[in-house]
Amino acid sequence: MDDLFKKFLYTGIGIVSTTAETIQQSVDEWIDKGTISKEEGKKIVEDFMAEAESRKGQVEGKVKGLVEKTMNTLDFPTRSEMEQLNARIAELESKLAKNAKSKKD
């Protein structure tokens, strides 16, 4: 589940990065045309980045909740369930090996 969450998170970061680049390009064009000053352009970009940063935690929480809901809906085992199953398998393999060894003796 962590890998899926990381993929969603990295996708979100990529979207924000692409959006920031697009905003920067638009701001640069406005500055070149004289529509806004460099200071105004800098403020627009800084405000966008500050807003994106402030919403980062909120978005992470929503994505994590969505991933967990999807995992539950699809009935995937959790990490702890997989660890428990692996431990049981190892225990059973050990018992089988002991039984096989005692039958040889």
**What does the DSSP assignment read for 56-72?**
HHHHHHHHHHHHHHHHH
Q: How many domains does the chain have?
A: 2
Instruction: Let me know whether 83 and 59 are in one domain.
Output: no
**What digits encode the pLDDT tens for the residues 83-96?**
999 999 999 999 99
The mean of the pLDDT values for the chain is 85
Q: Does residue 2 surpass a pLDDT of 90?
A: no
C-alpha closest to that of 54 among 16, 6, 7, 14: 16
**Does 99 lie in the same domain as 55?**
no
The confidence score (pLDDT) of residue 79 equals: 85
> Within this chain, do residues 50 and 98 fall inside the same structural domain, yes or no?
no
Q: What is the mean pLDDT of residues 27-46?
A: 90
Say yes or no: 9 and 34 in one domain: yes
Position 4 confidence tier, pLDDT thresholds 50, 70, 90: low
pLDDT of residue 5: 66
Same domain, 59 and 14: yes
Q: State which residues form the domain around 86.
A: 77-105
- The answer on 81 and 99 residing in a single domain is yes
56, 27: one domain: yes
Contact predicate 102/39, CB 8 Å = no
More confident site: 12 or 22: 22
